[in-house]
Structure 1
Amino acid sequence: MTTLFDGYRLGDLRLPNRVVMAPMTRVRAAAGGLATPSMAAHYAQRATAGLLVSEGVQPSLIGQSNPGTPGLHTEEQIAAWRPVTAAVHTNGGRIFAQIMHGGRVSHPDTTGLQPVGPSAVPAVGNVFTPNGPQPAPMPRALDTAEIPEHAHSYAAAARAAIDAGFDGVELHGANGYLISQFLSSNANLRTDRYGGPVANRIRFAVEAVSATVDAVGADRTGIRLSPGGTFWGVEETEVPELYAALLHELARLQVAYVHLEATADEEVLVGLRRAWPGTLIMNPVVPMGPKQADRAAADHWLGLGADLISFGRAFIANPDLVERLRNALPLAPVDEATFYEGGDAGYLTYPAYQYPA
């Protein structure tokens, strides 16, 4: 029987276990979207994971969603990431960069630019800005001719990530951000080749992944998806058909992995597992939902055919999460007040488990 602590081959990488640190926004970047020494220490502390996936990294200024997030679209940003990846590798780890284009989930106060999206439909809710939460603004609908530029921005950021020392990249196709907006049936009201039927709604995702595969190779390219998710007000019709069609195209491209979130019924997710012939990372709970991933949830999904299991909040408070899971040690609680407040508190201050003397 497969366990969390068995090794796994992911492309050219040999993972010592099947525990993945999920991408989590922590807004600790310096001005200009630069990675910092604290970020290097944070990821290095968690390098015992089979694979680390970084926080979402914007591929362009217009792709930035939140203030305080890092980028991979300038030479200075690439240079700032190199000590982070070096620290992870020195500690024996492996790390992919998650490339995240926010699309309509952004604000002019953050970027100085009007957000863009598939259609002129604003996200639901307040977005983070340097001046506090504000209602999501009206995005500008992308012209058909400029959509390939945004699809190729993922590939450009992927090349930058490899230059910065990352082992690969994960395209953020989930949680209501740009790829997810194109998959949506209410954020995407287009009538051209990028909107309407399933074959058109998956086109942007396929073009972004294809460009990234061409740029850095299929074995260095993954994608995260949230089937049926409703983050930022997105809705999706024909969910099983939509994602089956997308997975068919991703299989043709032979990407390194698909990373699914538990945003649909288990029956739907198991069907997608059967439809996907490659490596599957499963995030067994809804991100930021009421439940936190644990060993029982991980074992359940390994039994259903997942290859790797990603943990989010558990990794924030437990830098030694792999050891705690392996030895059935208690997990430290996370302080949600420090998620996005900046600084090292709640970022570098969680200790490893202290065994009794």
Structure 2
Amino acid sequence: MPTKYPTLASPIQLGSLTLKNRAVMASLTRNRASPGGVPTDLMALYYSQRCSAGLILSEGTFVEEIGGAWLNVPGLYTPAQIKGWKKVTAAVHENNSLIFAQLWHLGRVAHPHHQAGRPNVGPSAVKAEGGKFRLLADSPGYVTPAPIEDPSEYVEIYRKAARAAKEAGFDGVELHAGTGYLPHQFIEARSNKRTDKWGGSVENRARFVLEIIKACVAEWGDSKRVGIKLTPAGGYNDMGDSDDDARKQYTYLIQELDKLDIGYIQFSQGFPTAGFNSLVPLDEFRPLVKNALVFNNGGLTGDIAEDQLKGKGVVGGPIHAAVFGRDYIANHNLLHVLQTGGEVKNADPALYYDTADDLSLGYTDY
């Protein structure tokens, strides 16, 4: 392969795993699972097509039957779902790549009509403002969640999902702890008003995430098979503490995560145009990470990725892998396109999600 971006094309170790290159495919919700959240043969084809990535992060995958606002999203809490994912992971491995399952729960920003008759949950009875649901009716919008009585019970839900991911043949798991979803809601004072050991102080607000990570590590028996995604700048789903508060909170959390010797920390700028603080996560927190690999996500091009992998313009050292999202939709062989200077095609946003009778349209037909 031509090497326009030699560092991006170079392999790297993630614990005992060898990533054949440093291009990571981001989690991309595509809504092609069957009813009941069961992965399909078409999904196996979709992921197998994108194995030019050194590591694939699965689409967000629900850890229980509630906590969603999307149709036809896969889960990891039933035997049928595990069986379906086995087809996907086998297809990825047959095509010489690796895949982590992203563990997902929307918490207070889930759609109230899709909660199996149960209330939305969150750390506190604090409603998120706004509430525009994709593919589902906006009304009634975000609702006030029921505070989770014992968060340790949810730690166990994530533990079971991590166990299911291992059974399904994944190479590891990533905790989605950003973008205003349940773990993120525990991290920030904006949404966490608890006064017990799960809230109130910087240390207590970090507890939920840290306990989930420890549970995932225990299930896998290898800390390097566990990663996390963070969006400290907020700006989505009514999240984002002030600069000072976010800096204190995430400094503590990231240092504690790094002590656990996990595989990687994925930083994402998120949606800065709607942000509540001005932090640039990579600049702020890269210097704190000593043991984990650092992944960066958000608006990357081949040039930017190569520079950041070489440490150019990055405070505290280079990143270790570059995470590309939407470019992988229309460019299944994205790394080859980048390396050869080819045109990175744009996908049709109208076909991001399941909107056609032919589910392959805008999915596996590029």
**Are the aligned partners of 2:282 and 2:296 in contact in 1 as well (CA < 8 Å)?**
no
Q: State how 1:185-196 maps to structure 2 within 5 Å.
A: 185-196=189-200
Provide the residue aligned with 2:147 in structure 1: 141
Closer/same/farther in 2, CA of residues 234 and 327 from structure 1, 3 Å limit: same
Look up the match of 2:28.
24
Aligned equivalent of 1:120, options 96, 117, 125: 125
Deviations 1:311-349 (A, max 9, x none): 001111100101011111110111111112342211111
Return the offset for 1:259.
Answer: 0.6
The structural deviation recorded for 1:65 is 3.7
Q: Deviations over 1:277-327 (max 9, x none)?
A: 1201110x2xxxxxx421122123222211000000111110010101111
Q: Distance in 1 between matches of 2:200 and 2:233?
A: 17
Deviation at 1:213, TM superposition (A): 0.8
TM-score (norm 1): 0.91
Task: Give the counterpart letter for 2:143 in structure 1.
Answer: P
CA contact (8 A) 2:188 2:246 kept: no
Structure 1 contact 173–223 (Cα < 8 Å) conserved: yes
| 1:127 Cα deviation after fit | 4.6
Identity percentage of aligned residues:
39
Q: Structure 2 regions of 5+ residues with no counterpart?
A: 271-276
Higher RCO (C-alpha 8 Å, min separation 6): 2
Q: Does 1:281 align with 2:295?
A: yes
* 1:347 equivalent in alignment to 2:353: no
Write out aligned runs for 1:320-335 (5 A). 320-335=333-348
Shift of 1:95: 0.3
1:288 equivalent in structure 2:
none
1:215-271 residue CA offsets vs partner (Å, 9 max, x unmatched): 113121100000121210012242222111111111221111101102475765223
Q: How does 1:48-87 map to 2 (within 5 A)?
A: 48-87=52-91
Cα distance in 2, alignment partners of residues 268 and 308 from structure 1: 15
- The answer to whether the Cα contact below 8 Å between 1:109 and 1:131 also exists between their aligned partners in 2 is no
Does residue 298 in structure 1 map to residue 322 in structure 2? Answer: no
1:236, 1:204 → 2: CA distance? 18
Q: 1:183 to 1:210 in 2, by over 3 A?
A: same
- In the TM superposition, structure 1's runs of 4+ consecutive aligned residues that sit over 4 Å from their partners are 263-268
Contact 1:26 1:339 in 2 (8 A): yes
- After superposition, residues 164-313 of structure 1 pair within 5 angstroms as 164-216=168-220, 217-237=222-242, 238-263=245-270, 268-277=281-290, 278-283=292-297, 285=298, 292-302=299-309, 303=311, 304=314, 305-313=318-326
CA distance in 1, matches of 2:44, 2:281: 38
- In structure 1, how many angstroms separate the alpha carbons of the residues matched to 2:13 and 2:90? 21
* DSSP 3-state at the match of 1:231: coil
How many residue pairs get aligned? The number is: 341
User: Which structure 1 segments of 5+ residues have no match?
Assistant: 286-291, 351-357
